[in-house]
C-alpha cells in the first residue's frame, strides 16, 4: 500500500513552461489526503520558491527543498543541514577559479545570493528557482552559513567542472544534474538521505513509497521508493534505474500515474 508520493519538480512534475495543472492537482491532493497518502516534492528549488509555485496548497505538501537540504511542512522546518560559512566560502573560491563567467548561487537561510557582475545576465534564470534573491559585490560579504551552493553555467560546462571538483567531494555532496547546473550540499546530504529522514518522520517504508524523477540528481530519490518512475523525457540512465516509465512532464505524467494507480 502506498503511503507516500514524492516527485522532483523541473522536468518531472512541472511542464516545459515551469507550470502544472493546479486544478487537477488540487483534486488529486484532496483524494490522496482522504486515503491517508502524503505528497511531497524533492527539488533543487528554494523552499520559498516552491511555496510560491503551489500557493495555499504548499501548506498541505512536504517540501524537501534547496537540493533536499531542508524539510518543511505547513510553514515549519522539520530538518535542515547547513554548510559552515568558512567552508562554504572556500568552496565558492574554488568554483570561481574553475570558470569566472559562470553564475554561482550561494544559498543561505535568508536568500539566494549572486554577485552583481552576474545579476544582469542571469538574474532571471536564478529567479526561476529562487523566490528570495539578494545581490552582493563579493561573496565575502556573506556572514551566514550556507544551505547549499549552486552553479548555473550557460556555457554548459558543468560535467567538465564536476570532474575538477573531485577533491571537494571529501567535504561535500556534489552533483551535476545536467550540463548547465551543479548542486552542492553538505557531505552526505542528497535527495536519498533526506527522503529517508522524511520516511522516518512519517513511519513510511521504501515499499510504501512512490517516486518520480528525470535527472541525474534523482538516482538517490528513486532508490528510496519501491514504486520508482522515470519520466519518458528522463535521461536514459535514469530510466534504466527506475521500475516504471511515466508519460512526459508535458503530458502531466506524474498526475496521470497517480490517477491511474491510486485514484480509481
pLDDT in tens, 133-188: 999 999 999 999 999 999 999 999 999 999 999 999 999 999 999 999 999 999 99
Q: What is the pLDDT of residue 31?
A: 97
Q: What is the pLDDT of residues 63-79, one digit of tens each?
A: 999 999 999 999 999 99
What is the 3 state secondary structure string of 69-138?
CEEEECCEEEEECCECHHHHHHHHHHHHHHCCCCEEEEEECCCEEEEHHHHHHHHHHHHCCCCCEEEECC
Compute the distance between CA of residue 25 and CA of residue 19 in angstroms, rounded to an integer.
12
Confidence (pTM): 0.92
CATH number 3.40.50.1000 is the correct assignment for the domain at 4-80+189-262: yes
85-186, what's its fold? Answer: 3.30.1240
Residue 19, judged by CB atoms within 10 A of its CB (0-12, 13-18, 19+), counts as exposed
At residue 120, the pLDDT reads 86
Q: Provide the residue ranges of all domains of the chain, joining segments of one domain with +.
A: 4-80+189-262, 85-186
206-234 average pLDDT score: 98
Per-residue pLDDT reduced to its tens digit, 224-250: 999 999 999 999 999 999 999 999 999
Residues 196-209 as b/e (b if ≥16 CB within 10 A, e otherwise) read: ebbbeebebebebb
Percentage with pLDDT > 90 across the chain = 96
Amino acid at each position: 500500500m502506498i503511503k507516500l508520493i514524492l516527485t522532483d519538480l523541473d522536468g518531472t512534475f512541472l511542464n516545459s513552461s515551469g507550470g502544472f495543472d493546479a486544478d487537477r492537482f488540487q483534486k488529486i491532493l484532496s483524494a490522496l489526503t482522504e486515503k491517508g497518502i502524503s505528497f511531497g516534492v524533492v527539488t533543487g528549488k528554494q523552499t520559498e520558491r516552491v511555496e510560491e509555485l503551489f500557493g495555499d496548497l504548499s501548506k498541505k505538501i512536504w517540501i524537501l527543498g534547496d537540493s533536499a537540504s531542508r524539510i518543511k511542512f505547513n510553514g515549519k522546518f522539520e530538518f535542515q543541514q547547513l554548510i559552515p560559512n568558512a567552508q562554504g566560502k572556500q568552496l565558492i573560491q574554488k568554483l570561481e577559479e574553475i570558470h569566472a563567467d559562470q553564475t554561482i548561487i550561494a544559498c543561505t537561510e535568508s536568500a539566494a545570493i549572486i554577485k552583481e557582475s552576474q545579476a544582469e545576465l542571469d538574474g532571471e534564470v536564478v529567479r526561476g528557482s529562487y523566490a528570495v534573491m539578494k545581490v552582493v559585490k563579493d561573496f565575502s560579504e556573506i556572514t551566514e552559513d550556507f544551505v547549499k551552493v549552486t552553479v548555473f553555467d550557460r556555457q554548459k560546462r558543468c560535467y567538465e567542472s564536476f570532474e575538477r571538483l573531485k577533491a571537494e567531494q571529501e567535504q561535500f555532496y556534489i552533483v551535476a544534474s545536467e550540463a548547465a547546473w551543479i548542486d552542492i550540499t553538505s557531505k552526505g546530504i542528497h535527495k536519498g538521505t533526506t527522503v529517508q529522514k522524511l520516511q522516518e518522520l512519517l513511519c513510511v517504508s521504501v515499499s510504501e513509497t512512490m517516486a518520480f524523477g528525470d535527472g541525474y540528481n534523482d538516482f538517490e530519490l528513486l532508490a528510496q521508493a519501491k514504486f520508482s518512475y522515470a519520466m519518458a523525457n528522463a535521461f536514459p540512465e535514469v530510466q534504466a534505474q527506475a521500475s516504471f516509465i511515466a508519460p512526459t512532464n508535458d503530458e502531466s505524467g506524474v498526475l496521470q500515474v497517480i490517477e491511474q494507480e491510486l485514484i480509481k
